[in-house]
Chains A and B, each alone.
Chain A
């Protein structure tokens, strides 16, 4: 029993290495980190790997141009903007200023290129179209030597489709020399191209038409034609003729004029004439597209081309061309995602299944819908059509974990995308809710750094809990359970493992091959209890995908509204805007690359009815405003998250999960002390400044419950220690959730290779076995293979002890070896001091230790991490045997720690590696040490507070007092409330609480502590030790509360592009030192942090997708004290799409004066109005009023350009001087 108590005592003292070490190595009192520990980013102009203009943390990555003091956004060389070539008419986004070089180039400070002239339109030039800017269109026209037409009323989809709708015909060129004996040459092209060739155009005539007397003859050859689905005959000149129809090859009438697709063979074939030997009237949406028959050994009746089947067969299901679906590696959702798995998007692309893996480590999930609503052909109703649509989108799982911090709110969990609440209720004193991801993110199995490893463990540690089941004897002498009875039920282990698994790659879970690895422990009174075999079997089956299961797109309305993307209540009131001010209808550029997945489906459906190109023409305008089956509509519906909106969400989420300082607090959420370590290491200034209660976070998700648990534990301890003959001691149930480690061995490595539909990756490979390695990355021989197994067990050796008050005294020979540790003078170690020790293994290994001899799997603790590493160390505070004795422990101070290690292939050290030491018994000559305070020393506290609850942590059981003057402990009147029991130790020590009165400005408090309070009761007060120097504890109240001074923009504005860029600015003052602001377009409930983390008082947020309309932006700012200020601003954005107009013109005294409707730059010509504004014409002034000298009788062609670059193609006005 005493040994168990020792173990409990020691385990209670364990802290992960960095936390206590850093606490003690810093100062005796170490508050919350006062200096932000965020990595400092510096701009590097050129990295060693060749990349340019990157922010780096590690200077060694930089080859040249390292800017020590600033990020790239603040430098003149690497600031990102729009690179414009005025002559070519091209605009490139996100280009560093220094890289925007060359003739006719200029750099504009707008990353998104929302600048005049950048809006593309449909450039119609000959038989091809291009969706380019107006300037670019002119360049193309010049280069091709054909006239152009530039239209702004078409989006990209329509523009591309229009190309194939252009009228074509025979372009006949007479033989040179005019020899009537010779026939004309001919090419089949558009009218505009024909003009360039100098021929005579005959619309809808084929070159083989007998009327045209050409030298082109019919043939039985076929070919595919660019931009068209079908197989076409070609004539002897190589021109396309009509659609291949074997029955009409010799029909002269078939070679005269163009016969349209709808009038050609099998026009309405359900399958698009796929695999037809005689008809080439393919329709890629219905099922066929022109393709080479020779390549596949297909034998059409004539020619070498046929309609290839564009549908795909997968798992017994037929998918139409462009349909996409999700494929998974196992069960998904509810934490089921197996380790090593990722989600996959499969696309049927012209008869081939294309695999598009979602981001690895389940950073993306594949979402799918199978139907969507489309307007009926007559437009009066909507109908639901079946069309599988899938897409990869960012997994919001990390945000769920974040809600478990004390600054989060678990009750918001179910409203958050990809989050769900797990409720644990095993008794009155063991119930809590945890917000978990539906699709837990994967962890790197071999983390790149110990910090990453600890963070992963911290997350898993949320599910590490201790449940105390108190008992007492009933009247019959039996033990009656007082509370938390369910903790003793093995089902509780299953539930807690389910919680554990849902946090990430944690706990007892399988990999993609169904191999289970046990990283969850359910211990009752220190004894490992196995989970039910039926439950384990269910876990093992999770690697089998569940038929018909797929992830739902989820409701991202709140995100879109908060970001101002889905239209706002303000915009709804704006009747002057035509249509919705949602980004959908106003932004043709959203379809610049392509519409949403649902739009794709709509095209496919419509194509079946109307034919491919017509379908695009018809569908394209409608795509923007489509409705679907989910709340997120339009191009966003169906599978969502595609070009445009979906990716915007992805980027918002990506930014939120990573860039937000709030994310840093995810480190402080675990029940393990590692959380505190990680927080200390990685908390941002704002995290510190926001005064997070570290100790509470370190222990529990819900502070109140934590205290209750601890009290219950104390009670049971006291009863067990001092309660006499009470055999109904409390039962301690421990749930331990660790980061998932792969099963030892390497038998399954090769199973990762060889599946082209599921290519292997590092994550997948390493999950298959601890001995698996992913080699030859990037080469054609990339593969998962077994690492070299030396067939031996790990050989252990002690880690060197440097700069510590103890040393390695002797090495132990025999068995697996070991060493003994003594003080520097060879004696026992001092109690109440941190003892850091460790061992090294000669190969990557898992190591554990215990104070009892046990099997490896049953050993109490891992050495630092449960991963396979070379260096294993841990740290704990050596308890004082005298103190223990004073509380009933029978222990003289001798301690042996037994360690064992196992390598990746399962080879274990055969015997125990021993670490022996002794700890001095009293008398205790050292006064208490204050380890930690919270709030931090020198912290700012709320402006509105009149008192502040503080906590002081000591290294031993003590009494603490405070005073506003520096005086001896015994004189101080005010006391802290401190624990009296040795077992009441928390992560940072013994926690003493008090409420300190606060006045404005700086408040100084002097704190001293005195140890061994129990000695008073036995008249040994003189043996107690008190601090001779006070710890000066300073808390400052700001002189004024944080407030928002102003927010911009606050006035209406005109813009020249859609979308446009605006910069939201908010100036704050007062309050604490660190200010951070959030914004939203929908209200204060869903807010998004400003994307600037410099914590100064001027806050900026760039919106580069802003649409016209009324806007209202809500801003909320907070300082480190937690005080908040709110404000909002309203303005209106009006899109100026028109060219300047001439309002008035008159002539007087040989001067022509005219007034423009807006400020404009004007030029004139006396020849014509078609001059190029940039390079031609003469100056006619800038502003609203313009004057030029005129000659009687001369015509003046005047052209004006506004500040947005809008200028007419012709003249603004033509005036003849009188």
Chain B
């Protein structure tokens, strides 16, 4: 074995050794083949050793010990994206009660009046906050589940975990959904320092904040003017598309869609509706 090492060092690489073997002109004997295998084993050990050094000592930031954020973050990311998509279809309500059926889908009324010639009454004040609350209710258990699974995984890797029930809050900010997790967690392993984790955030890219702000703006205009100019909105928010359909009964169905992610936020309004002809019924 040592001789083989020496040969590697001397000749630089396995290839050269092989060439030496060939240069010798003789077919390699059984003993030589064993030598090759040995070399390969040695190389493998060196590679694995280097990897171990890299991950255990260098500790690249893309992988963090303790909460295993990449796995957990990915889990939370998936949950948030899915729930945002679901809630967007129902105007941010988990079970909307007051809806309008169009094209087979139920569009929640966010602003409504049953009269003609009258501005609508806002049915869902604080749209963004409501969406946050709904998103939290819809995703809390799943995020908890992500958290518990990460803890379990760490435990399986020999970490001692002690944690309390995580307290989760969600806030929507421009381009992101921020999930704040408050969970007094202790992660420790015999040969290492104990890590204490209290608050950490998972940020998911999402256009939902902008979509909600623009939708709020649409509703504000519906309450005062009875309509919105979606053409102008398209100019200012090129990443969003706006579809507005006016129905015969005066209801308007809005679909705000993010071009890049495909997420929709859709709702209905009825404001300053006009009767057909000279109908006197409201």
Contact = CB atoms under 8 A, between A and B. Distances in A.
A99 B125 contact: yes
Given A447-B279, A654-B272, A226 B178 contact: no
Interface string B187-224: 00000000000000000000100000100111011011
Contacts of B278: 398, 443, 452, 455-456, 458-459, 666-667
A451 B235 contact: no
A324 interface: yes
B234 interface: yes
A444 B245 CA distance: 20
Interface stretch (A171-179, A835-843, A916-924): A171-179
Given A360-B246, A597-B229, A658 B116 contact: yes
Interface in A641-678: 642-644, 646-648, 650-651, 654-655, 657-659, 666-667
Interface string B84-125: 000000000000011111111000010111111111111101
B164 interface: no
A593 B218 contact: yes
Given A130-B174, A140-B173, A177-B58, A655 B117 contact: yes
Given A449-B281, A452-B281, A594-B235, A224 B260 contact: yes
B126 A88 contact: yes
Contact of A55 (B115, B243, B244, B280): B115
Interface in B215-257: 216-218, 220-221, 223-239, 241, 243-248, 250
Q: Identify whether the interface residues of A are mostly helix, strand, loop, or mixed.
A: mixed
B61 A451 contact: no
Contacts of A125: 174
A505 interface: yes
Contacts of A449: 280-281
A442 interface: yes
Interface residues of B, number: 82
A128 B121 contact: no
B277 interface: yes
B29 interface: no
Interface in A381-409: 391-392, 394, 398
Given A592-B217, A651-B119, A90 B274 contact: no
A1104 interface: yes
B226 A651 contact: yes
Please indicate which of the listed interface residues A41, A55, A594, A1105 has the most CB atoms of chain B within 10 Å of its own CB.
A594
A649 to B, nearest CB: 9
B228 A643 contact: yes
A643 B109 contact: no
A1136 interface: no
Nearest to A391: B229
A1155 to B, nearest CB: 39
A134 interface: no
B129 interface: yes
Nearest to B217: A593
A51 B112 contact: yes
B140 interface: no
Contacts of A356: 230, 244-246
A761 B248 contact: yes
Contacts of B228: 593, 643, 647
B229 A643 contact: yes
Contact of B102 (A361, A451, A657, A778): A778
B235 A443 contact: no
B238 A289 contact: yes
Contact of B236 (A50, A132, A596, A616): A616
Given A102-B126, A452-B281, A360 B241 contact: no
Interface stretch (A2-10, A347-355, A562-570, A876-884): A347-355
Q: Identify whether the interface residues of B are mostly helix, strand, loop, or mixed.
A: loop
B7 interface: no
B231 A597 contact: yes
Contacts of B232: 593-597, 599-600, 642-643
B180 to A, nearest CB: 9
B166 interface: no
B123 A52 contact: yes
B37 interface: no
A56 B229 contact: no
B128 interface: yes
Contacts of A576: none
A161 B236 CA distance: 7
B126 A90 contact: yes
A397 B175 CA distance: 46
B275 interface: yes
B59 interface: yes
B276 interface: yes
A875 interface: no
A179 B58 contact: yes
Nearest to B113: A54
B227 A57 contact: no
A1007 interface: no
Interface string B46-66: 000000000000111110000
B144 interface: no
A125 B126 CA distance: 22
Interface in A450-466: 451-452, 455-456, 458-459
B101 A778 contact: yes
Contact of A682 (B216, B217, B230, B280): B280
A99 B225 CA distance: 22
Contact of B114 (A61, A129, A324, A441): A61
B128 A361 contact: no
A255 B14 CA distance: 37
A92 interface: yes
Please indicate which of the listed interface residues B128, B178, B207, B259 has the most CB atoms of chain A within 10 Å of its own CB.
B259
A49 B246 CA distance: 20
B111 A130 contact: no
A780 B233 contact: no
Contact of A93 (B109, B220, B259): B220
Contact of B231 (A57, A324, A682): A324
Interface in A1105-1126: 1105
B173 A452 contact: no
Contacts of B238: 227, 229, 284, 289, 350
Contacts of A54: 112-115, 121
Contacts of B282: 39, 56-57
B171 interface: yes
A322 interface: yes
Given A51-B109, A350-B241, A654-B274, A1104 B224 contact: yes
A157 B111 CA distance: 25
A658 B226 CA distance: 14
Interface string A57-88: 10001000000000010000010100101001
A752 interface: no
Interface of A: 39, 41, 47, 49-57, 61, 72, 78, 80, 83, 85, 88, 90, 92-96, 99-100, 102, 105, 111-112, 125, 128-132, 140, 143-144, 156-157, 160-161, 173, 175-177, 179, 181-182, 185, 224, 226-227, 229, 284, 289, 291, 322, 324, 347, 349-350, 354, 356-361, 363-364, 391-392, 394, 398, 441-444, 447-449, 451-452, 455-456, 458-459, 504-505, 592-597, 599-600, 603-604, 616, 642-644, 646-648, 650-651, 654-655, 657-659, 666-667, 682, 759, 761-763, 777-782, 1104-1105
18 contacts: A50-B109, A83-B122, A99-B122, A140-B174, A157-B236, A161-B236, A177-B59, A229-B238, A284-B238, A361-B277, A452-B278, A593-B220, A650-B272, A655-B117, A655-B272, A658-B274, A777-B101, A778-B102
Given A78-B121, A128-B175, 6 more contacts: A456-B278, A597-B231, A643-B221, A647-B228, A654-B274, A780-B104
Interface of B: 58-62, 97-104, 109, 111-123, 125-129, 171, 173-176, 178, 207, 213, 216-218, 220-221, 223-239, 241, 243-248, 250, 259-260, 272, 274-282
The 4 residue pairs across chains A and B that have the minimum distance between CB atoms: A594-B232, A50-B98, A658-B117, A778-B101
